[in-house]
Amino acid sequence: MSVASSTRPPRDRLRSWQPRSRLRVPEVVAAVALALVVVAAVAPGLLAPADPLAVSPTDAFTAPSLAHPLGTDESGRGIWTRIVHGAGASLAIGAAATVIGTGLGVVLGIAAGFGGGRLPGRVADVTVLRLLEVMFALPGLLLALVVIAFTGPGALPATVAVGLATAPGYARIVRSQVVRVRRSAMVEAAVVLGRRPATVLRRHVLPNALAPVVVLATLGLGQAVVWASSLSYLGLGAPPPAPEWGAMLSAGRLYVTTAWWMTVFPGLAVVLTAASATVLGRGLARRGGGAS
């Protein structure tokens, strides 16, 4: 409604750098890093030919050196090798959990978003909202832990647990997107043009409401990886001797003072993966894939 462009003040000291839509350095770095992680997950042999499970007691606790760039652990296995081979587990759990969470979240979000109005819709909306509130009341790891209390530990339960724990976040965003789009002028214009509700749904509402999901999933991937490795750290995820990052850190706890490399490097791998996913996700969002 405004002639807004002419009244918006140019910014001076209180300005911040607004990046333009070109490729920026952090995004390139993040993409490369994530690509490396994916390669490590899919074909670890390319990056680390040694055997991650081969025990070699004589080499135990060596500091980072030429032979073992990131040092060795308590059984003489190379940290670099184990990190590379662990990428598969960590990424797989994280990715699978994200898929579960997104899928469930989208279904719940759509069900809730289409609520309101007539009775069945109302019931659906309220039920889902209450369900979401409950899930939020048991946030993140807590929900995952409660689930594992019932299912027992392991890689698969951890995956499902993390997936369930991330679902409410997606559901909430999808719901608010659906509500927003349903009420938008775009839908009204379609009604005025005489479109049937099913057509409007299919061609306008769903694509626009779900547009941010890909971005969200990318952002959520980082979080899922962090949670999955946290569960392993707590001993509830992938069982040893699997080279999962969180588990490696857990093993390194005892030796933190003497062999710091066992703690620092696997954690760095988690941070790198999560941060790269976040940066990429935000880059995608900036290019117009995100929620408004």
Partner 1 sequence: MTLPVPTEPGRDAAAGRASSTAPPTTDDASSPSPVTPERRRRGRAAAAARWLAGRVVGGVVVLWAVATLVFFAIRLVPGDPAEAILGGPGSQASAEALALVREQYGLGDPLLLQYLAQLGRLVTGDLGTSYSLRTDVGALLLDQLPGTVVLAACALAVAWLIALGTAWWATLGGRVAAAVSSGLEVVAAAVPHFWLGSVLVLVLSTQLGLLPPVSTGTPIGLVLPVVTLAVPVAGFLGQVTRDSLLDAASSPFALSARARGESTSGLFGRHLLRHAALPGLALSGWAFGSLLSGAVVVESVFARPGLGRTLLGAVTLRDIPLVTGVALVSALSYVVVVALGDLAERLVDPRVRAS
Partner 2 sequence: MSVTAPLLVVDDLRVSFGSGPVVDGVSFALAAGECVAIVGESGSGKSVTSRALLGLTGGAVSSRRLTLGDTDLAGLGERAWRRVRGARVGLVLQDALVSLDPLRPIGREIDDALRLHTRLTPRQRRERALEALVEVGMPDPEARLGSRSGELSGGLRQRALIAAALAVRPELVVADEPTTALDAEVQRVVVDRLRALRDGGTAVLMISHDLGVVRRLADRVVVMRAGEVVEAGPTTEVLDAPEHEYTRMLVAALPAGAPRGARLSPPTVPSSSNREPDHEPGHVAVHGPVRGSWRARAAAARADDVRLVLSARGLRRVFPARGAVPDRVAVDDVSLELRAGETLGLVGASGSGKTTTARLLLGLDAPDAGTVQLLGEPWAPLHERDRRARRPLLGAIYQDPASSFDPRLPVGRLLADALTGGDRTRVGSDALRRDVLALLGRVGLAADLADRGTASLSGGQRQRVAIARALAARPRVIVCDEPVSALDVSVQAQVLDLLDDLQREEGLAYLLISHDLDVVGHMADRVAVMQHGRVVEQGRTAEVFAAPRHEHTRALLAARP
Give contact residues for partner 2 (rule: CB under 8 A). Answer: 1-3, 5-7, 9-13, 15, 184-186, 188-189, 191-196, 199, 203-204, 207-208, 211
| Three-class SS state of 72 | strand
Closest separation in Å from C-beta 119 to partner 2? 17
Nearer to partner 2, 235 or 288 (CB): 288
Q: Residue 130, interface with partner 1 (CB under 8 A)?
A: yes
Q: Which of the listed partners (partner 1, partner 2, none) does 129 bind, with a CB threshold of 5 to 8 Å by partner kind? A: partner 1
Q: Which amino acid is at 272?
A: L
Query: To which residue do tokens 């819709």 refer?
Result: 121
Q: Residue 209, interface with partner 1 (CB under 8 A)?
A: no
**Cα–Cα–Cα angle for 64, 68, 69, rounded to 5 degrees:** 55
Q: Which of the listed partners (partner 2, partner 1, none) does 191 bind, with a CB threshold of 5 to 8 Å by partner kind? A: partner 2
Q: Which of the listed partners (partner 2, partner 1, none) does 60 bind, with a CB threshold of 5 to 8 Å by partner kind? A: none
Do 238 and 247 meet the contact criterion of CB atoms below 8 Å apart?
A: yes
CA within 13 Å, CB half, 225: 31
Q: Where are the beta strands (DSSP E) in 216-265?
A: none
- Site string (7-46) toward partner 1, x via CB under 8 A: xxx-x-xxxxx--------x--------------------
**Cα–Cα–Cα angle for 208, 171, 116, rounded to 5 degrees:** 75
Q: Residue 233, interface with partner 1 (CB under 8 A)?
A: yes
40-44: Cβ within 8 A, 24+ apart: 40/83, 40/84, 40/85, 40/87, 40/88, 41/87, 41/88, 41/90, 41/91, 41/92, 42/88, 44/84, 44/85, 44/87, 44/88
Q: Residue 69, interface with partner 1 (CB under 8 A)?
A: no
Question: Nearest Cα to 275, choosing from 212, 216, 211, 218?
Answer: 218
Q: How far apart are CA 64 and CA 71, in angstroms?
A: 4
Nearer to partner 1, 11 or 57 (CB): 11
Closest separation in Å from C-beta 107 to partner 2? 22
Nearer to partner 1, 180 or 195 (CB): 180
Number of residues that bind partner 1 (CB under 8 A): 78
Q: Which amino acid is at 66?
A: L
Q: Which of the listed partners (partner 2, partner 1, none) does 20 bind, with a CB threshold of 5 to 8 Å by partner kind? A: none
Closest separation in Å from C-beta 51 to partner 1? 26
Q: Residue 149, interface with partner 1 (CB under 8 A)?
A: yes
The token duo for 96 is 């699978």
β-bridge partners, 78? 72
Closest separation in Å from C-beta 288 to partner 2? 8
Closest separation in Å from C-beta 54 to partner 1? 26
Q: Which of the listed partners (partner 1, partner 2, none) does 142 bind, with a CB threshold of 5 to 8 Å by partner kind? A: partner 1
Do 114 and 121 meet the contact criterion of CB atoms below 8 Å apart?
A: yes
Q: Residue 249, interface with partner 1 (CB under 8 A)?
A: yes
Closest separation in Å from C-beta 164 to partner 2? 31
Closest separation in Å from C-beta 176 to partner 1? 4
